[in-house]
Chain A
Amino acid sequence: MGSEKGLRKTFKEWDEGPVAKTLAKFPERKEQFETLSGIPVDRLYGPSEKALMEYEQELCFPGMFPFTRGVQPTMYRGRFWTMRQYSGFATAKETNERFKFLLNQGQTGLSIAFDLPTQIGYDSDNPLAQGEVGKVGVAINSLADMELLFDGIPLDKVSTSMTINAPAAILLAMYIAVGEKQGVPMNKLRGTIQNDILKEYVARGTFIHGPKESMRLITDTFKFCSENMPLWNTISISGYHIREAGSTAVQEVAFTLANGIAYVDAAIKVGLDVDSFASRLSFFFGSHSDFFEEIAKFRAARRLWAKIMHDRFGAKDDSSCRMRFHTQTAGCTLTAQQPDNNVVRVTLQALQGVLGGTQSLHTNSRDEALSLPTEQSVQIALRTQQIIAYETGVGDTIDPLAGSYFIEHLTDEVEKRAMEYIIKIDDLGGAPAAIEKGFIQREINDSAYEFQQAIDNSTRVVVGLNKFTVEEEQQFDYLRVDPAVEAEQIGRLQEMREERDQAAVEKTLEALRSAAESDSNLMPLILDAVKAYATLGEMCGVLREVFGEYRAPDIL
């Protein structure tokens, strides 16, 4: 391994294999890349003749195992990452307008934020939804809302990511149904459902059922999609929320990959072949404030996942080992003080994601420590990505920081330390058992508390917060969700209920109930109920009755 001759040979294989194949399908953005002073920029820079040890095994070439240097042979020389701003508020109609605004501004993918009642499986008129309708995202009660949400947006032209977990199967079914109405069959739909319940128990809180029943819903979607939706990402295994809850970078990688292992285990246990679903697993990470550690983290996560899939699960296809991920800049690093400074933070964090080889990116808006972002703030956030992409040239060669002593060292360290955690979690019986025992929660809580103490005693500097502070009046243009939205949404929901064929709804809900009581795949039955305009709350209500509800242990 790693001999000069071996490496030259692998380089040739890479150049004539994956690169040539990719170029034939997706030509690069330019014939030739060069710097501002006219120096040509090659696709890739490799180790000097002297530094070949272990190169092939630990780094290798982009698009080749273990993918440390990136998942595609040409990366951003072909196409920039997908610029995908997470958005959604108020009603489907208002969010539809925001989507169209973002697409007109050059955004290249959609990402839906749902309100909390939707995420927890309640219709807008449920008493528990009071005060929450349309607040942190858009309220979607039935297919009727979903049709409005995508009105005038052709689903064969966009890819859509949905931050939805407990009721992910239901929202996916609604998306399929909208596609059908537009004449786009489900095998042409591109996008992602988050569908990652394990991190909800430790970090995000929008679970409905217990782990066992939730895992069944997840493996049902894996199976359904592996047969019907070859372009769909069936899960986005998310470290972002673990990080936002306070974990370190190492813990973020470790706990996310441990959850990933649990999903692969569960799918194999219900009889799926690992190579039939693994290529559609996707990931989601945060980009926090430690510049080099974050870049190393992305590279380490890619390499570690590749090794896990190959060594632990015996995946045969390279595509099963290839970690594709979305990145979001870290919301928890935004300050309410001197909020314009957040634009600079977001710029650096976005750059980290790009230097780490992300497939898509959300840049936070400067005002998110205060409220939902205004249209103007969202525009600056999107422009930040566009400036990085179109003006800086960082995408003109692949993985430009590779070979830096520091970056490679940090990459090795993050991988090693994350693996130590994964072994510990294995010893506890895997991620679900470690969550049940409160191990992962306690680890995150301890890190969060230490971080806060470091800010409070100023050993960690946050500019504008504990150093370089100013007296300021908070004057900001907030985005307000009109309280009338709740009543309006409820009014439309009740109208829809009166107009639909009630007998058809009841029939499909009964079918869903008996399927839930058996072992059959729930996806087709959910799809039937969705098409009959059964509401999200009604479907989740049936599943709540059969599966029960989870009560999280309160761990400080």
Chain B
Amino acid sequence: MATLFFYELKKIVNRKILWICMLCGALLLAFSVAGPLVGDYVVNGERLGSNYEEFQKDAAYQKRLDGRAIDEILFMEMQKAYEKVPLNEKKYSLTEEYQTYARPYSAIFNYVRQTTGLSATGVTNLEASTEALKEMRLELRELRWEEYYLSEVEKEYWRAAEEEIENPVVFRYAEGYSALLSLAYTVGILSIFMIAICMAGVFPEEHLRKTDQQILSSKYGRKDVYWAKLCAGTLVSFGLACVFVLITFVTAFFIYGMEGFDAAFQIIYAGSSCPISVGQAVLIIYGIILCAGTFIGVLVMTLSENLHSSVGTLSIVTGLIVLPMMISVPEEYRVAAQLWSYLPSDIVAVWSCFSPRMVVLLGNVLQGWQVVPVLYAGIGVVAAIVTERVFVKYQVSGR
């Protein structure tokens, strides 16, 4: 079995499409990470500097605030700075006042806006204490939970989780993790698409090359070779996803730095009530990307053996990937919306991965990212077992 696995792995690795996809994916991802820093920062046709210089400026401001709690002292400091800015102007960020006084606090300003749901002027007019900020945050959370049609059990879970989030939240420079979180969707979609392309031909190729005749008439040419091939394909799918994730991590950390692993997740994604750090959130979502990539690999391989067509399989899987980008299920159809968000091309987004919708199972309350790996493993195993019968009973005829 080990020898068969080795040769099946070799067959997949020998395929040019794998290397083409890996190279294209790597280039696209490296560009996606570095892209926002490339080129000029132009406002109203006037070049104000390069995007990289502007990023450096913001990074320096954020590093100055690193380690400070977002309490009433920092909040008032920020308000004072923003009071000088004519926020009613359409492009207030271009004003001298903004650039000089407010910009150093823009990270705090944005955090408060997201956590309270207030407008720009609303933030400056707010008379808030640390506790009041938390109250506003909780009120906004309750509203969002209603929109998600959460049950009382789920709401209770999240209320308890909110209590575990540090208060006041300590601001940390975590631009590397922030970039990784905002790129997760791109990395996820690209990974599953590239894996689908690479794996679609693994089984049909044997029929196309007519090697199936020799394989199926050999002693271990049925069950053993099927599982060896499937395992090899699964490993390559996982490996490919790992390569894409690794490239993204290396590029993001190289450009934006690795600081801020322990920062509260809410600094980056105020909409979440998960009491985890931003580093943990990154590990979770990229773990989900690895799961989704591996799952797509298994799904594509089994589907292609059932259809005996790589093109047909790719059409179906492309539809599965693209559909969630075009169609969203209304939240009132709670179960359908939740299942829809578990699709591989949807769960790789931060908002789906850390969605407040949960699964209550035997007294345990599980989040989406905890359910999806088990769900994918279950579907993958069933698909593999069903397809084994198709592979074993394949009839060589009509050539």
Q: Do A and B interact with each other, yes or no?
A: no
Interface of B toward A, CB cutoff 8 Å: none
Interface of A toward B, CB cutoff 8 Å: none
